[in-house]
Amino acid sequence: MSYTKRVDGRKFDEFREVKAEVGLIKNADGSALFSFGDTVALAAVYGPKQLHPQHLQNPQKGVLRCIYDMLSFSVPERKKPGPSRRSLEISKVTEWALSSIVDLENFPNTVVDVFITILSANASTRVAGINAAAMALADAGVPMKEMVSSVSIGKIDKQLVVDVCKEEEDYEEGEGATDIPMAFLSRSGDLTLLQLDGEIRPEELKKAIKLGKESCKKIFELQKKALKEKKLEK
């Protein structure tokens, strides 16, 4: 049987319910929460601040540093606290997804730290984390050229879907599940994150990227709305 109906009843191009909020962590210079359904990411930004040790400093511009991790009880089977190979890699691709949007030329020798914590996981955690991080950077007032929005596109059997949930990620029938997290800049539409796990035909990948780009436009509107709402509160 082919994948003609999504497990949670969504349309193929529909992401789960999004919650986007900024300014939840008082200690941080900026913070944001972004969720796709039961996948909840919290991000905090600290900086720009002096970077130690000194040899990591860049005299030309400030450095962006991202750390992604999950709470031990964010997943059904407890995850051992502390970084893993998986979380280290996600931290790095998140950093690459975000680094082109920040403009740290006026902050040489400093660092902007972005900490992303997954409170609750139901697939697509890295893309929720990137969305939260981009909002937290804006909330912190870090100079930015544009925003980043991120989504996962799945190929479940032969069907392309937006925002893969855990049950879809584990789909085994037909051609199985392929997960493609991606991120796009808000203005230029350029791509800053692309990963893939599974198998896909070249033509399908082209379609998947188009679909992701369209979804990210909608996600960007939700990020923008949350940031504006906070401004109005003040």
Partner 1 sequence: MELSKLTRRRIYEYLKTGKRFDGRGLLDFRKIDIETNVIKNADGSARVKFGDTDVLVGVKLDVVEPFPDAEDKGILITTAELLPLSSPRFEPGPPQIEAVELARIIDRGLRESGFIEFDKLSISKEKVWSIFVDIYPMNANGNLIDVSALAAVLALKTAKLPKYDEKKERVDFGEHTEKKLPLTNRLPLTVTFYKIGKNMIIDPVQEEEESSDARISIAVSKDKEALFHALQKGGENVFTEEETDLVIENALKKHAILAAKVKEKLEKGLKSK
For residue 75, the minimal CB distance to partner 1 (Å) is 6
Q: What is d(CA 161, CA 54) in angstroms, rounded to the nearest whole number?
A: 46
Nearest in space to 13 (alpha carbons), one of 152, 147, 126? 152
DSSP β-bridge partners for residue 91: none
Q: What is d(CA 78, CA 83) in angstroms, rounded to the nearest whole number?
A: 14
Is 119 a binding residue for partner 1 by CB under 8 A? The answer is yes
Pick between residue 35 and residue 223 the one whose CB is nearest to partner 1.
35
Q: Give how many residues touch partner 1 by CB under 8 A.
A: 31
Q: What is d(CA 222, CA 205) in angstroms, rounded to the nearest whole number?
A: 26
Pick between residue 74 and residue 150 the one whose CB is nearest to partner 1.
74
Q: Hey, what amino acid is at 140?
A: A
Binding-site member from 20, 97, 121, 147 for partner 1 (CB under 8 A): 121
Tell me the CA distances in angstroms from 120 to 105, 123, 133, 164, one per residue in order.
Answer: 35, 9, 16, 15
Binding-site member from 12, 14, 19, 38 for partner 1 (CB under 8 A): 38
Place of tokens 């913070």: 31
For residue 31, the minimal CB distance to partner 1 (Å) is 8
Write the binding mask 66 to 105 for partner 1: x where contact by CB under 8 A, - elsewhere. Answer: -x---xxxxxxxx--xxx----------------------
Pick between residue 104 and residue 132 the one whose CB is nearest to partner 1.
132
Binding-site member from 25, 93, 193, 216 for partner 1 (CB under 8 A): 25
Pick between residue 49 and residue 225 the one whose CB is nearest to partner 1.
49
**Which range binds partner 1 by CB under 8 A, 3-11, 44-52, 202-210, 222-230?**
44-52
Is 26 a binding residue for partner 1 by CB under 8 A? The answer is yes
Pick between residue 2 and residue 84 the one whose CB is nearest to partner 1.
84
Nearest in space to 63 (alpha carbons), one of 108, 5, 24? 108
Q: In this structure, what DSSP letter does residue 221 have?
A: H
3-state helix, strand, coil in the chain (%, to 5): 30, 30, 40
Q: Hey, what amino acid is at 161?
A: V
Is 42 a binding residue for partner 1 by CB under 8 A? The answer is yes
Q: Are 36 and 24 in contact (CB under 8 A)?
A: no
Binding site for partner 1 (CB under 8 A): 24-28, 38, 42-44, 46, 49, 67, 71-78, 81-83, 113, 115-117, 119-122
